[in-house]
Amino acid sequence: MSDNPLLDQQVLPPFETIKAVHIVPAVDKILDDNRSKISELLATTEEASWLNLIEPLAILEDHLNQCFSPVGHLNGVMNTADIREAYNTVLPKLNEYRTELGQNTKLFSAYQNLAKSESFSTLNATQQKVIDNALRDFRLSGVDLDAEKQKRFAEISKTLSELSSKFNDNVLDATMAWSKTFSDKSELTGLPESAIALAAQMAEQKNLEGYLLTLDYPSYSPVLLYCENRELRREMYEAFTTRASDQGPFAGQWDNTEHISEIMKLRKERALLLGFDNAAENSLATKMAENTDQVITFLKALAEKSKPAAEREFTELLDFAQKQHGVTELCAWDMPFYSERLKEYKFDLCEEALRPYFPVPRVLVGMYEVVRRLYDVEIEACSDMETWHQDVTTFLIRKEGEVIARFYLDLYAREHKQGGAWMDECRSRRIKLDGDLQIPVAYLTCNFPAPVGEAPALINHNDVVTMFHEFGHGLHQMMTKVDFAEVSGINGVAWDAVELPSQFMENWCWQSEALQFISGHYETEASLPDELLEKMLAAKTFQAGMTTVRQIEFALFDFRLHMEFDEEIENQTQIILDEVRAEVSVIQTPKFNRFQNGFSHIFAGGYDAGYYSYKWAEVLSADAFSKFEEEGIFNRQTGEKFLSSVLERGGSADAMELFVFFRGRKPDIEALLKQDGIL
């Protein structure tokens, strides 16, 4: 055993012993060792084969991943100053290493020779996919460029990784910087008791009197939805939508404006170096979509069908606000508040009335029961996995009595934890050289309101949907049967197909049969009453048009920016966003809004020119789920077919091929429009 826990290859990360001081030395050591071993490998390998080239490289990559996976994860969930500093120190080193590999002409030649050799035909389809993907990625790393252009490509890649990390840091710092305390809860009139209790608990944890509000979503969202104090809603909306920008309460501090320009400039330059016309074309090289026109056509067709519904919904909301509340103008900070009032009025449904029926422990048991019925697996808590925080719980998955995967569950918002929800890989499934199986392990992260007092954490139905969404990603990672890490789980999956399993899992949150065991009152354990269930299902497609055009707004902005970016056009990012809003949005956005400055998905999260994936995956999901609607939502044969067609296959085959294998045909956009009530 090493005195540095990050250097030891272990089944699971030793979180209890990992310190920030371990990070830089461990990464440096592994990168140096890997470089030496790759040089030795290329010097001694005469005729490349799977066993003497691909397998040794996979071992080196797995060792590096075992070291860096917990580091990257800690940077997201325990973002202390020392961890951040260490992470930002090793990030450019890792990027430099990966660029070196991608531009290693000897390594590229070895892969090419293997692909042309007689032994290639003896490999199975999955192994051939690993090699084909690698050859594609070599070219996307600039292996064909001359030395001067390769050097520039490496510089760009290194700088982009640093800028993306800085972008995320700025958003987190800006989020944590804002808070507001209240001594009198009369200023919070309208807030549910659960939100007031959370605000009181947060103040107590900070040794403050009264009530504390922050920009963390469990604190921010209830204010926008329920608080009758309009000025407070405006204040928090402005603080949230101007994070890391030149506007708002911290104008100019942690400002991402220049970072966005520099990121876009470098992405465009990288694309041009590789022979693409723009960064969007470059991005599509690893996606299902065939070209940029196809993506734009898809988004505009969806907007054309959705905007009339969105306009009707907005007119209805404005009419309601005028007649029922005497409001003559709806500002952005009014929209959630009056939308919630309209939902209550139309469906006699208050989202807060649902919260007691969704205590986290019950939702988890119910979610695992859904998975058991679909895929015949058992999920159980375990206590032999070290964690990074006392709130983290750990689980294993069994199939036919055998442990096939493990996962960490980190559900609650806290300081120094990045907002949002995500799944990431801790370990990928692979067969090791000695024949042993390395089982997949996943991190599942959310930012729900933490338990208050002795009661369990109570979440709303939107949070339930989020939990199912992330667990769908987790199942994609953990249910894989692919034996090669390069294409097992989420690895090697086209980015615009990776959201299919997550969107797909959301469907069960709306099924009455499933809700009978997903829900259970935290005091009485009674399932959601039929009356509430009927109201919730009736409200399912409430304002679906406005929700859809909002997502199209984000997707079109992202894609157009990556297609059209020109550093000579001043303020082009805002110009494109304004144009997209004028085309598809039905809501007037305040001039101070700087949504783009916190849009981590596309500037720091891998969704560049790929945010459309969410809407495309909704099409795939709706169409896939329609098969369950036809054959039974818990039909085991249908569940097994989805398992064997999609979840178990990972990135081992083309995403469209896998969808067609399951559904029997290509996806139909109308399935989504029908599901959302737009058609």
356: left (phi over 0), alpha (psi -120 to 50) or beta: alpha
Choosing from 581, 611, 641, the residue where a domain stops is 611
- Residues 45, 110, single domain; the answer is yes
pLDDT at 1 over 70: no
- Output the pLDDT for position 258: 98
DSSP string, 235-255: HHHHHHHTTTSSSSTTTTTT-
Q: Does 77 fall in a domain?
A: yes
- 616 pLDDT band, cuts 50/70/90, is very high
pLDDT tens digit string along 43-60?
A: 998 899 999 999 999 999
Q: What is the mean pLDDT of residues 598-611?
A: 96
- Residues 409, 388, single domain; the answer is yes
- Can you give the CATH number for the domain in which 298 is found? 1.10.1370.10
Counting the structural domains of the chain, the total is 4
Residues 6+ apart with CB under 8 A from 235: 180
Q: Does 47 fall in a domain?
A: yes
- Can you give the CATH number for the domain in which 90 is found? 1.20.1050
- Residues 366, 344, single domain; the answer is no
**What's the CA gap between 568 and 563, in Å, rounded?**
15
**Strands (DSSP E) found in 200-296:** 211-214
- 416 pLDDT band, cuts 50/70/90, is very high
Q: Does 661 fall in a domain?
A: no
Secondary structure letter of residue 404 according to DSSP: E
pLDDT tens digit string along 29-41?
A: 999 999 999 999 9
Structure pTM? 0.96
Nearest to 348 by CA among 519, 549, 529, 512: 529
Q: What is the CA radius of gyration of the chain?
A: 25
Burial 206-223 (b: 16+ CB within 10 A, else e): eeeeebbbbbbbbbbbbb
Nearest to 573 by CA among 590, 587, 551, 593: 593
Choosing from 567, 588, 611, the residue where a domain stops is 611
**What's the CA gap between 265 and 159, in Å, rounded?**
11
pLDDT tens digit string along 101-150?
A: 999 999 999 999 999 999 999 999 999 999 999 999 999 999 999 999 99
- Residues 315, 408, single domain; the answer is no
- Please indicate whether residue 118 is annotated as part of the active site: no
Please count the residues of the chain: 679
Q: Does 377 fall in a domain?
A: yes
pLDDT tens digit string along 432-490?
A: 989 999 999 999 999 999 999 999 999 999 999 999 999 999 999 999 999 999 999 99
pLDDT tens digit string along 277-321?
A: 999 999 999 999 999 999 999 999 999 999 999 999 999 999 999
- Residues 27, 48, single domain; the answer is yes
- Residues 423, 343, single domain; the answer is no
**CB contact at 8 A, 444 and 470:** yes
- Residues 24, 120, single domain; the answer is yes
Q: What angle do CA 73, 74, 76 make, to 5 degrees?
A: 70
Q: Does 415 fall in a domain?
A: yes
Q: Does 520 fall in a domain?
A: no
- Can you give the CATH number for the domain in which 390 is found? 3.40.390.10
pLDDT tens digit string along 622-649?
A: 999 999 999 999 999 999 999 999 999 9
- Residues 131, 31, single domain; the answer is yes
Residue 346's Cβ-count burial label (10 Å; 0-12, 13-18, 19+) is middle
- Residues 182, 283, single domain; the answer is no
**What's the CA gap between 473 and 407, in Å, rounded?**
12
Q: Does 82 fall in a domain?
A: yes
- Output the pLDDT for position 678: 83
Distances (CA, A) of 21 to 10, 86, 478: 19, 8, 31
- Residues 201, 118, single domain; the answer is no
Catalytic hit among 340, 470, 499, 618: 470
Burial 293-309 (b: 16+ CB within 10 A, else e): eebbebbeebbebbbeb
The tokens of 129 are what?
Answer: 């996919």
- Residues 420, 335, single domain; the answer is no
Nearest to 510 by CA among 464, 547, 445: 464
Secondary structure letter of residue 589 according to DSSP: P
Domain range enclosing 52: 20-102+104-140
pLDDT tens digit string along 222-278?
A: 999 999 999 999 999 999 999 999 999 999 999 999 999 999 999 999 999 999 999
Choosing from 591, 611, 631, the residue where a domain stops is 611
**What's the CA gap between 176 and 180, in Å, rounded?**
11
Q: What angle do CA 279, 280, 283 make, to 5 degrees?
A: 90
- Output the pLDDT for position 676: 87
**What's the CA gap between 298 and 289, in Å, rounded?**
10
Q: Does 650 fall in a domain?
A: no
